Structure 1
Amino acid sequence: MNMQVAGEQMLSEVVTMMFNMVPSIDVEKLKNKLSSIVSKFHVTKVEQDEVHPDLTEKIELFLASKKLEGLSPITLKGYGLDLRIFADKVKKKTGDITAADIRMYLGQFSGLKMSSVGKKLSVLKSFFSWLASEEFIQRDPSAKLKTPKLEKRAPKALSIEELELLRESCQTVRQRAFLEALYATGCRLSEIYSLNRTDINHQTMSCRVIGKGNKEREVYFSFKAMYHIKKYLMNRLDEDPALFVTERKPYRRLSHRGIQREIGIIAELAGLEKRVSPHTLRHTFATLTLNNGAELAAVQQLLGHESPATTQIYAQYTEEKKREQHKKFLVQ
């Protein structure tokens, strides 16, 4: 529908509505007055099966604002994906969206875990809260919606025996190198992915990484990790600056999915029944170091956690450690 036809249709609908409200109104005079006003604007009709352009515009403004606040590209990509799916389902002007619309949208994901639904709601809450604070909307429709309560479960870390099984199951020097790097540093997948060869200080056996919220911190490698990383780099024939690259030409930085896939292959070769991911190695680093006597505050800094409460969930003592503590500190 072209702009002229859309403008005429809008004009006709407005005049009809006003005539129904005030039958004595002079229709022709009103139409002429409104026509002179409408002619100053480009009018397009939003079809029922189209995403409302107002909502699309507000989503892009929100993402731009969050980018300036320092949100990571991965987080921004996730926000954008969730919000565009929401816009495609709701198809309303931003100010017309209600709490009921949000509930109906989330209700379509009944097959997902509550944690996944909670994440979707969290994104929407962030979006609408920002719209309200910027005064794009009068009230936040997500304010009354409560995030579902989740059962708190300790992260599933590997035992020392399982970690050794993974090590023995590595078939390439690259597999062993990033297995040791992930475990020794406790880094997130995105942090390991971003590392370059020159980032590693071989004297201090450390490097600096950029974590959540664009915050920088120092992490450390073990002697074992440094040995396998050096062995891997010595076998490299390419000049790509990335610490971990693909095995085939054209050589390029190994993707997030590539690292995840390799860890999965190692776990399968090891015969481990539990699901093993790069984040499992982060859990393992935290749990084993805490069980071995590391201070909570130190591990918090190494993991890049803002709150000690986040680190505390890893402090799950083994049965052997609990028995040892009982014998050592019980007053007889």
Structure 2
Amino acid sequence: MSNLNEEVSIKLVGKITLLMPFLEQKLDIQLEVKKAIDETLYNYEIQSKCTDLVASDIEEKAAIYQACKKLEGLSQRTLDNYRLFLNKLDQFFTKPCSTISTMDLRMFLAFMGKEKQATTVNGYITMLKGFFGWLQAEEYIIKNPAFKLKQTKVPRVILQPYQPENLERLREACITEREKALFELLDSTACRISELDNIKLKDINWQERSIKVFGKGSKERIVFFSTRAKLHMQGYLKSREGESEYLFISERGSHNHIKVRALQLIIAKIKDRAGVGERVHCHKFRRTQATRLLNSGMRIEGVQGILGHTTPSTTQIYAQLSQENLKNEYRRLVV
């Protein structure tokens, strides 16, 4: 299939999805629709009616690229990050993708990377490699200008979990049942805050103290919560006003499903009350629980499953064996 045929196929799927919004969440049906369109267009060669000189085709190609990534099942947050970044790329260049050189991209990175951390610039490089690699694979460009871009070496910093005494101070600073339920879930499940935000009552197994959550890329996994979390969750459900299929809801107005930012603000209020000096944020609970599990003897593969990571190397960034545990492991294995 030619590039134009593929382009038309993707655009048609997009148009159909706009006309029938329920397809937004039906990736399998979108793929079936695309397959049917591809089969129909197989014996045709599409040509563009546009004969004007195009100053830049980045916006057009970026739209197709994002449509492809959406069909691959990327999360909406990741797609939004791609969209914002590629908009910056389109604003920076006023020429076709095929004429962009490696030096052009280095100038773009220098512009985007001002006063940015090395990890952020490396993220930009990863997105450039992904976009231009796709352009080359789809034969929109012959040479990939992002191929020669090198990632910046970033010193590895071991991020620390919460200090035990600070964790207890935060726990004692929780006042409402909603605050207590949120805190204990963060502490015991090692979930991302966006995963807790989307917990539905039907996904909670009270007897097994487990929850079915949906992580990055809509990947489903089972996480487990403590007895303390169970008691505060049940207490919160009894005390809250309003009905909802979601666990956490707003305390105002129509008691709608609460958003991630609101949950983050709850943790910020708890931190202010506790008077804790160290930095407090939701993601740090994941690191704390991962380290706790590893130091308690759980294998790295088990911790990986709890966190929902694809590879153990990602888990290693979150969890570090304590020096005491390292010493005990060494003495156990080495005579």
- Same fold by TM-score greater than 0.5: yes
- Counterpart-to-counterpart distance in 2, 1:265 and 1:103: 42
- 1:78 corresponds in structure 2 to 81
- 1:91 corresponds in structure 2 to 94
For the pair 1:165 / 2:147, whether they are aligned, the reply is no
Contact 2:290 2:318 in 1 (8 A): yes
- 1:146 corresponds in structure 2 to 150
For the pair 1:272 / 2:276, whether they are aligned, the reply is yes
For the pair 1:220 / 2:224, whether they are aligned, the reply is yes
Q: Cα offset for 1:323?
A: 5.8
Equivalent residues in 2 for 1:1-12, closer than 5 Å:
none
- Counterpart-to-counterpart distance in 2, 1:169 and 1:46: 60
Aligned identity (percent) is 39
For the pair 1:55 / 2:58, whether they are aligned, the reply is yes
With the length of structure 1 as denominator, give the TM-score of the two structures.
Answer: 0.80
Q: Which has the higher Rg, Structure 1 or Structure 2?
A: 1
- Aligned partner of residue 313 in structure 1, secondary structure: helix
- 1:177 corresponds in structure 2 to 181
- Counterpart-to-counterpart distance in 2, 1:283 and 1:74: 22
Query: Structure 1 residues 271, 329: closer, same or farther in 2, change over 3 A?
Result: farther
Amino acid at match of 1:99: T
- Counterpart-to-counterpart distance in 1, 2:49 and 2:294: 65
Aligned match of 2:234 in 230, 235, 258?
A: 230
- Counterpart-to-counterpart distance in 2, 1:155 and 1:239: 40
- 2:210 corresponds in structure 1 to 206
Deviates more, 1:206-215 or 1:132-141: 206-215
- 1:18 corresponds in structure 2 to none
Query: Structure 1 residues 130, 45: closer, same or farther in 2, change over 3 A?
Result: closer
- 2:70 corresponds in structure 1 to 67
After TM superposition, the runs of 4+ consecutive aligned structure 1 residues lying more than 6 A away are 326-330
Q: Cα offset for 1:172?
A: 2.0
Unaligned segments of structure 2, at least 5 residues: 1-47
For the pair 1:107 / 2:95, whether they are aligned, the reply is no
For the pair 1:245 / 2:249, whether they are aligned, the reply is yes
- Deviation sequence 1:75-101 (CA, Å, 0-9, x none): 111111111112112232121222122
- Counterpart-to-counterpart distance in 1, 2:207 and 2:49: 67
Amino acid at match of 2:104: D
Q: Cα offset for 1:210?
A: 1.7
- 1:261 corresponds in structure 2 to 265
- Aligned partner of residue 209 in structure 1, secondary structure: strand
- Aligned partner of residue 287 in structure 2, secondary structure: helix
- Counterpart-to-counterpart distance in 2, 1:171 and 1:113: 37
- Counterpart-to-counterpart distance in 1, 2:324 and 2:271: 26
- Counterpart-to-counterpart distance in 1, 2:333 and 2:91: 60
Amino acid at match of 1:103: R
Amino acid at match of 1:61: I
Amino acid at match of 2:313: A
Query: Structure 1 residues 100, 264: closer, same or farther in 2, change over 3 A?
Result: same
Aligned match of 1:308 in 291, 312, 326?
A: 312
- Counterpart-to-counterpart distance in 1, 2:133 and 2:330: 49
With the length of structure 2 as denominator, give the TM-score of the two structures.
Answer: 0.80
- 2:13 corresponds in structure 1 to none
Q: Cα offset for 1:134?
A: 1.0
Q: Cα offset for 1:295?
A: 1.8
- Counterpart-to-counterpart distance in 2, 1:98 and 1:306: 34
- Counterpart-to-counterpart distance in 1, 2:61 and 2:114: 27
State the aligned residue count. Answer: 287
Unaligned segments of structure 1, at least 5 residues: 1-39
- Counterpart-to-counterpart distance in 2, 1:311 and 1:69: 24
